[in-house]
Amino acid sequence: MTEDLALLVEAAQEAGRLARDIRKRGLEVEYKPDDHTPVTNADLAADQLLTTRLRAARPDYGWLSEETADAKDRLVCRRIFVVDPIDGTRAFLKGRPWWSVALAVVEDGAAVAGVVFAPELDEIYAATAGGGATRNGEAIQPSARAGLEDCRMVGDPVVFGHWSWPVAWPPMHVEQRNSTAYRMCLVAAGEFDAAVAPVRKSDWDVAAGDVIAREAGCFVGDHTGDAFRYNRARPSQASLICSTPALAPLILERVRHMGAAN
Protein backbone atom coordinates (compact mmCIF):
# COMPACT_ATOMS: atom_id res chain seq x y z
CA MET A 1 0.00 0.00 0.00
CA THR A 2 2.98 2.36 0.38
CA GLU A 3 3.30 2.73 -3.39
CA ASP A 4 -0.45 3.27 -3.74
CA LEU A 5 -0.34 5.97 -1.07
CA ALA A 6 2.48 7.82 -2.84
CA LEU A 7 0.47 7.65 -6.06
CA LEU A 8 -2.62 9.06 -4.34
CA VAL A 9 -0.65 11.92 -2.75
CA GLU A 10 0.84 13.02 -6.07
CA ALA A 11 -2.47 12.72 -7.91
CA ALA A 12 -4.40 14.63 -5.23
CA GLN A 13 -1.91 17.50 -5.34
CA GLU A 14 -2.05 17.65 -9.14
CA ALA A 15 -5.86 17.67 -9.13
CA GLY A 16 -5.99 20.33 -6.42
CA ARG A 17 -3.64 22.61 -8.34
CA LEU A 18 -5.64 22.12 -11.52
CA ALA A 19 -8.92 22.98 -9.78
CA ARG A 20 -7.47 26.19 -8.37
CA ASP A 21 -6.04 27.20 -11.75
CA ILE A 22 -9.38 26.67 -13.46
CA ARG A 23 -11.19 28.72 -10.83
CA LYS A 24 -8.78 31.61 -11.44
CA ARG A 25 -9.56 31.46 -15.17
CA GLY A 26 -13.31 31.25 -14.59
CA LEU A 27 -15.77 28.57 -13.55
CA GLU A 28 -18.63 27.12 -15.54
CA VAL A 29 -21.38 25.76 -13.29
CA GLU A 30 -24.15 23.27 -13.98
CA TYR A 31 -26.57 21.47 -11.67
CA LYS A 32 -26.98 17.71 -11.63
CA PRO A 33 -30.49 16.60 -12.61
CA ASP A 34 -30.79 13.94 -9.89
CA ASP A 35 -30.03 16.03 -6.78
CA HIS A 36 -29.52 19.59 -8.11
CA THR A 37 -26.05 19.83 -6.59
CA PRO A 38 -23.52 22.00 -8.43
CA VAL A 39 -20.77 20.62 -10.64
CA THR A 40 -18.14 22.83 -12.26
CA ASN A 41 -15.74 22.52 -15.14
CA ALA A 42 -13.04 22.22 -12.46
CA ASP A 43 -14.74 19.13 -10.97
CA LEU A 44 -14.87 17.50 -14.38
CA ALA A 45 -11.31 18.44 -15.34
CA ALA A 46 -9.94 17.17 -12.03
CA ASP A 47 -11.88 13.95 -12.49
CA GLN A 48 -10.41 13.47 -15.96
CA LEU A 49 -6.90 14.11 -14.67
CA LEU A 50 -7.38 11.58 -11.87
CA THR A 51 -8.91 9.02 -14.21
CA THR A 52 -5.96 9.27 -16.58
CA ARG A 53 -3.30 9.38 -13.85
CA LEU A 54 -4.58 6.66 -11.56
CA ARG A 55 -6.01 4.19 -14.04
CA ALA A 56 -2.88 4.31 -16.18
CA ALA A 57 -0.80 3.48 -13.10
CA ARG A 58 -3.14 0.69 -11.90
CA PRO A 59 -5.09 -0.62 -14.89
CA ASP A 60 -6.33 -3.65 -12.93
CA TYR A 61 -8.05 -1.51 -10.28
CA GLY A 62 -11.75 -0.72 -10.58
CA TRP A 63 -13.06 2.84 -10.56
CA LEU A 64 -15.74 4.73 -8.62
CA SER A 65 -15.92 8.52 -8.80
CA GLU A 66 -18.60 11.08 -8.10
CA GLU A 67 -18.09 12.61 -11.53
CA THR A 68 -17.84 9.40 -13.61
CA ALA A 69 -20.78 7.22 -14.64
CA ASP A 70 -20.74 4.12 -12.43
CA ALA A 71 -19.55 1.03 -14.29
CA LYS A 72 -20.64 -2.09 -12.46
CA ASP A 73 -17.57 -4.02 -13.62
CA ARG A 74 -15.93 -2.59 -10.50
CA LEU A 75 -17.91 -5.13 -8.47
CA VAL A 76 -15.68 -7.97 -9.64
CA CYS A 77 -12.45 -6.10 -8.84
CA ARG A 78 -10.58 -6.88 -5.65
CA ARG A 79 -9.19 -3.33 -5.51
CA ILE A 80 -10.81 -0.12 -6.69
CA PHE A 81 -10.10 3.60 -6.56
CA VAL A 82 -12.80 5.68 -4.84
CA VAL A 83 -12.55 9.31 -5.89
CA ASP A 84 -14.11 12.67 -5.16
CA PRO A 85 -12.32 15.21 -7.36
CA ILE A 86 -13.69 18.16 -5.39
CA ASP A 87 -15.40 17.31 -2.11
CA GLY A 88 -17.16 20.47 -0.97
CA THR A 89 -17.97 22.06 -4.33
CA ARG A 90 -20.17 24.72 -2.70
CA ALA A 91 -17.22 25.93 -0.60
CA PHE A 92 -15.03 25.83 -3.72
CA LEU A 93 -17.57 28.00 -5.57
CA LYS A 94 -17.80 30.53 -2.75
CA GLY A 95 -14.05 30.86 -2.26
CA ARG A 96 -14.11 29.19 1.13
CA PRO A 97 -11.15 26.97 2.07
CA TRP A 98 -13.10 23.88 3.20
CA TRP A 99 -12.95 21.79 0.04
CA SER A 100 -10.68 18.88 -0.69
CA VAL A 101 -9.57 16.23 -3.14
CA ALA A 102 -10.44 12.87 -1.54
CA LEU A 103 -8.91 9.67 -2.91
CA ALA A 104 -8.96 6.12 -1.55
CA VAL A 105 -8.03 2.58 -2.44
CA VAL A 106 -10.57 -0.04 -1.38
CA GLU A 107 -9.52 -3.69 -1.10
CA ASP A 108 -12.01 -6.49 -0.48
CA GLY A 109 -14.63 -3.96 0.62
CA ALA A 110 -12.47 -2.02 3.10
CA ALA A 111 -10.66 1.31 2.65
CA VAL A 112 -6.94 0.52 2.95
CA ALA A 113 -5.29 3.74 1.71
CA GLY A 114 -6.56 7.29 1.70
CA VAL A 115 -5.49 10.85 0.98
CA VAL A 116 -7.41 14.06 1.62
CA PHE A 117 -5.78 17.21 0.24
CA ALA A 118 -7.13 20.64 1.20
CA PRO A 119 -5.35 22.95 -1.30
CA GLU A 120 -6.40 26.28 0.21
CA LEU A 121 -5.12 25.23 3.63
CA ASP A 122 -2.02 23.41 2.35
CA GLU A 123 -2.99 20.35 4.39
CA ILE A 124 -2.58 16.79 3.18
CA TYR A 125 -3.87 13.92 5.30
CA ALA A 126 -2.78 10.39 4.48
CA ALA A 127 -3.04 6.86 5.86
CA THR A 128 -2.68 3.20 5.02
CA ALA A 129 -4.23 0.30 6.90
CA GLY A 130 -1.86 -0.59 9.72
CA GLY A 131 0.45 2.33 8.95
CA GLY A 132 -1.01 5.16 11.05
CA ALA A 133 -2.29 8.53 9.86
CA THR A 134 -0.48 11.80 9.18
CA ARG A 135 -1.08 15.46 8.39
CA ASN A 136 1.70 16.99 6.33
CA GLY A 137 3.89 14.06 7.33
CA GLU A 138 3.33 14.34 11.08
CA ALA A 139 1.41 11.68 13.04
CA ILE A 140 -2.08 12.65 14.19
CA GLN A 141 -4.48 11.36 16.81
CA PRO A 142 -7.95 12.30 18.07
CA SER A 143 -8.65 14.30 21.20
CA ALA A 144 -9.29 12.71 24.57
CA ARG A 145 -12.81 14.16 24.81
CA ALA A 146 -15.12 11.79 26.70
CA GLY A 147 -18.29 13.89 27.16
CA LEU A 148 -20.71 15.42 24.66
CA GLU A 149 -21.40 18.62 26.59
CA ASP A 150 -19.20 21.42 25.24
CA CYS A 151 -17.50 19.07 22.78
CA ARG A 152 -16.43 20.36 19.38
CA MET A 153 -18.78 18.88 16.79
CA VAL A 154 -18.28 19.39 13.05
CA GLY A 155 -21.55 19.22 11.17
CA ASP A 156 -24.70 21.14 10.30
CA PRO A 157 -25.87 23.20 13.32
CA VAL A 158 -29.49 22.95 12.08
CA VAL A 159 -29.40 19.16 12.36
CA PHE A 160 -28.47 19.12 16.04
CA GLY A 161 -31.10 21.69 16.98
CA HIS A 162 -33.94 19.94 15.14
CA TRP A 163 -37.08 19.17 17.14
CA SER A 164 -37.25 15.53 16.00
CA TRP A 165 -34.48 14.16 18.25
CA PRO A 166 -36.00 12.01 21.04
CA VAL A 167 -33.52 13.55 23.48
CA ALA A 168 -32.09 17.00 22.80
CA TRP A 169 -28.37 17.21 22.26
CA PRO A 170 -26.46 18.99 25.05
CA PRO A 171 -24.79 22.35 24.37
CA MET A 172 -21.93 21.77 21.92
CA HIS A 173 -19.65 23.92 19.80
CA VAL A 174 -20.95 23.03 16.33
CA GLU A 175 -19.28 24.27 13.15
CA GLN A 176 -19.91 23.45 9.51
CA ARG A 177 -17.28 22.33 7.00
CA ASN A 178 -18.47 21.52 3.49
CA SER A 179 -16.15 18.62 2.70
CA THR A 180 -17.23 15.46 4.51
CA ALA A 181 -13.79 13.91 4.05
CA TYR A 182 -12.15 16.99 5.55
CA ARG A 183 -14.52 16.88 8.54
CA MET A 184 -13.35 13.35 9.29
CA CYS A 185 -9.72 14.44 9.05
CA LEU A 186 -10.32 17.26 11.51
CA VAL A 187 -11.63 14.71 14.00
CA ALA A 188 -8.66 12.44 13.28
CA ALA A 189 -6.28 15.31 14.05
CA GLY A 190 -8.04 16.33 17.27
CA GLU A 191 -9.25 19.69 15.92
CA PHE A 192 -12.83 18.52 16.51
CA ASP A 193 -14.14 15.72 18.71
CA ALA A 194 -16.79 14.24 16.42
CA ALA A 195 -18.50 14.47 13.04
CA VAL A 196 -22.10 13.26 12.76
CA ALA A 197 -24.23 13.21 9.62
CA PRO A 198 -27.53 11.31 10.09
CA VAL A 199 -28.07 11.06 6.33
CA ARG A 200 -26.80 8.74 3.61
CA LYS A 201 -23.27 9.43 2.40
CA SER A 202 -21.77 8.25 -0.86
CA ASP A 203 -18.68 6.08 -0.74
CA TRP A 204 -16.57 8.84 -2.31
CA ASP A 205 -17.58 11.17 0.54
CA VAL A 206 -16.18 8.95 3.28
CA ALA A 207 -13.75 6.28 2.03
CA ALA A 208 -10.57 8.37 2.23
CA GLY A 209 -11.54 9.94 5.55
CA ASP A 210 -12.51 6.51 6.89
CA VAL A 211 -9.04 4.97 6.73
CA ILE A 212 -7.39 8.20 7.90
CA ALA A 213 -9.65 8.54 10.95
CA ARG A 214 -9.49 4.85 11.87
CA GLU A 215 -5.72 4.80 11.62
CA ALA A 216 -5.53 7.88 13.83
CA GLY A 217 -7.55 6.02 16.47
CA CYS A 218 -11.13 7.21 15.87
CA PHE A 219 -14.37 5.29 15.71
CA VAL A 220 -15.86 5.37 12.20
CA GLY A 221 -19.15 3.76 11.20
CA ASP A 222 -22.86 4.26 10.67
CA HIS A 223 -25.60 4.94 13.21
CA THR A 224 -25.93 1.21 14.01
CA GLY A 225 -22.26 1.03 14.97
CA ASP A 226 -21.30 -1.03 11.92
CA ALA A 227 -18.08 -0.31 10.07
CA PHE A 228 -18.34 0.83 6.46
CA ARG A 229 -18.19 -1.67 3.60
CA TYR A 230 -17.39 -0.49 0.10
CA ASN A 231 -17.68 -1.55 -3.53
CA ARG A 232 -21.25 -2.74 -3.26
CA ALA A 233 -23.99 -2.35 -5.88
CA ARG A 234 -25.30 0.71 -4.02
CA PRO A 235 -22.14 2.74 -3.33
CA SER A 236 -23.19 4.56 -0.18
CA GLN A 237 -23.38 4.33 3.61
CA ALA A 238 -26.48 4.81 5.76
CA SER A 239 -25.00 7.64 7.85
CA LEU A 240 -21.72 8.88 9.31
CA ILE A 241 -20.41 8.75 12.87
CA CYS A 242 -16.74 9.69 13.27
CA SER A 243 -15.56 10.43 16.78
CA THR A 244 -13.16 9.86 19.60
CA PRO A 245 -13.50 6.31 20.97
CA ALA A 246 -15.01 7.57 24.22
CA LEU A 247 -17.71 9.64 22.49
CA ALA A 248 -18.80 6.89 20.10
CA PRO A 249 -21.11 4.98 22.49
CA LEU A 250 -22.71 8.24 23.67
CA ILE A 251 -23.44 9.30 20.08
CA LEU A 252 -24.67 5.86 19.04
CA GLU A 253 -27.11 5.87 21.96
CA ARG A 254 -28.60 9.14 20.68
CA VAL A 255 -28.99 7.98 17.08
CA ARG A 256 -30.16 4.40 17.58
CA HIS A 257 -33.81 5.44 17.05
CA MET A 258 -32.94 5.83 13.35
CA GLY A 259 -33.33 2.05 13.07
CA ALA A 260 -31.57 -0.52 10.94
CA ALA A 261 -29.24 0.63 8.18
CA ASN A 262 -30.71 0.22 4.70
Per-residue pLDDT of the chain (262 residues; tens, 9 = 90+): 789 999 999 999 999 999 999 999 999 999 988 878 899 999 999 999 999 999 999 999 999 999 999 989 999 999 999 999 999 999 999 999 999 999 999 999 999 999 999 999 999 999 999 999 999 999 999 999 999 999 999 999 999 988 889 999 999 999 999 999 999 999 999 999 999 999 999 999 999 999 999 999 999 999 999 999 999 999 999 999 999 999 999 999 999 888 777 6
CA dihedral sign of residues 20, 22, 27, 32: negative
pLDDT in tens, 204-253: 999 999 999 999 999 999 999 999 999 999 999 999 999 999 999 999 99
Task: Please choose, from the candidates 124, 114, 259, the residue with its C-alpha nearest in 3D space to the C-alpha of residue 198.
Answer: 259
- Which fold is adopted by the domain 2-139? Fructose-1,6-Bisphosphatase; Chain A, domain 1 (3.30.540)
DSSP code of residue 73 = G
Domain ranges of the chain: 2-139, 152-258
Give the ranges where the chain is alpha helix by DSSP (H).
2-25, 41-57, 89-94, 157-160, 180-188, 203-216, 248-255
What's domain 152-258's architecture? 3-Layer(aba) Sandwich (3.40)
Cα–Cα distance measured from residue 11 to residue 124, given in angstroms and rounded to the nearest whole number: 12
| pTM for the structure as a whole | 0.96
82's CB contacts (< 8 A; 6+ apart) are 64, 65, 103, 104, 105, 106, 111, 203, 204, 207, 208, 230
Residues in the chain: 262
Q: Which residues on adjacent β-strands are paired with residue 175? A: 154
Cα–Cα distance measured from residue 41 to residue 15, given in angstroms and rounded to the nearest whole number: 13
Residue 188 class from Cβ within 10 Å (0-12 exposed, 13-18 middle, 19+ buried)? Answer: buried
